[in-house]
């Protein structure tokens, strides 16, 4: 029998270097949220809390990028 549990990227305080979907946890929060890191006017940003925010201003921990699903319903 093979282990089919997902492999999670390691947690780091280093911000992402490329666009994609990431788990992010603020320093003062206990839960991670999924955020989309986008390239906006040459800068990596996240829509947080209600505007494009440079990821360099977001303090906390990151995991990702989250790979696209290859399972049923992903096509």
So where are the chain's domains? Answer: 20-63
The pTM (predicted TM-score) of the whole model is 0.79
Q: Which residue has the higher pLDDT, 30 or 60?
A: 60
Q: For residues 13 and 27, what is the distance between their CA atoms, to the nearest angstrom?
A: 10
Q: Which residue has the higher pLDDT, 48 or 2?
A: 48
In tens, the pLDDT along 14-52 reads 999 999 999 999 988 889 999 999 999 999 999 988 999
Burial of 65 (0-12, 13-18, 19+ CB in 10 A): middle
Instruction: Name, in order, each residue with C-beta under 8 angstroms of 56's C-beta and a sequence gap of 6 or more.
Output: 15, 44
How high is the pLDDT of residue 18? 96
Please state whether the peptide bond connecting residue 20 to the residue before it is cis, i.e. omega within 30 degrees of 0.
no
């Amino acid at each position: 029998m093979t282990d089919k549990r997902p492999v999670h990227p390691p947690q780091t305080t280093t911000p992402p270097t490329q666009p994609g979907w990431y788990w992010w946890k603020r320093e003062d929060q206990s839960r991670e949220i999924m955020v989309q890191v986008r390239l906006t006017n040459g800068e990596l940003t996240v829509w947080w809390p209600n505007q494009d925010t440079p990821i360099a201003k977001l303090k906390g921990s990151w995991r990702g990028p989250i790979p696209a699903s290859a399972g049923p319903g992903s096509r």
